[in-house]
Amino acid sequence: MEATTETKKISYEEFLDQYGEEGAYAEWVDGDVIMAPPVSERHQDIGRFILNILSFYVESRVPGKVFYAPYQMRLEFSSREPDVFFVAASHLDRVKDNYLDGPADMVVEIISKESQNRDRGDKFFEYESAGIPEYWLIDPIRNQAEFYRLDAQNHYCYVTLDADGAFHSEAVPGFWLKVSWVWQEPLHSIWNVLREWRLL
């Protein structure tokens, strides 16, 4: 099932009134409301894995907060629901009751069949334009992960993995993710991750 777009344009305030309840998976783009279909079990599993390890790391090592869908991130002309995102302590003043009023410091989108064009197209350019420092694209369809970071010209540049196949974040200082963890079945336990991080 593909995402559907409501035909009548509404303001962001109307959007929050109508779709702001917990559990409503909807995004607002320049007056249009985009309803997202349910995601797959694998999408959920990968999202939960990234959320769990990132949350543990942030809570124990980095000032800030981790959020997950359906919490909204309000940008200039859109309001998106990233699967997972991080807000540094210096930007926690942007946190409102049911949305983040401005860009996050790092965003993770997990690609599904119906979201490929949005995640690689519209959202890529929206997040770049909004100045979100890091954008992670996790693609369970192809078992492929892509990581982008803003350069000096505020354009996203592809970030290569290290020799061990790990991505090292700058937005979340000290955090690193070995991409092979994401594709394991069953997924790596958080205890195994902590051992590899040498935190146990």
Token pair recorded at residue 113: 């069949």
Which CATH number belongs to the domain containing residue 137 in this structure?
Answer: 3.90.1570.10
Domain presence at residue 68: yes
Q: For residues 1 and 112, what is the distance between their CA atoms, to the nearest angstrom?
A: 11
54-102 pLDDT per residue, tens: 999 999 999 999 999 999 999 999 999 999 999 999 999 999 999 999 9
23: left (phi over 0), alpha (psi -120 to 50) or beta: left
**Contact (CB, 8 A) for 81 and 20:** no
Structure confidence at residue 154 (pLDDT): 97
pTM for this model (two decimals): 0.92
104-148 pLDDT per residue, tens: 999 999 999 888 888 999 999 999 999 999 999 999 999 999 999
Domain that holds residue 184: 39-196
Structure confidence at residue 1 (pLDDT): 47
- Percent pLDDT > 90 in the chain is 82
SS3 content of the chain, % helix, strand, coil (to 5): 30, 30, 40
Above 60 in pLDDT, residue 194?
Answer: yes
Domain presence at residue 5: no
Domain tally, the chain = 1
Domain presence at residue 50: yes
Domain presence at residue 173: yes
Domain presence at residue 144: yes
Q: Is 84 helix (H, G, I), strand (E, B) or coil?
A: strand
Residue 36's alpha-carbon distances to 14, 118, 123, 168, 191, in angstroms, are: 18, 11, 14, 30, 33
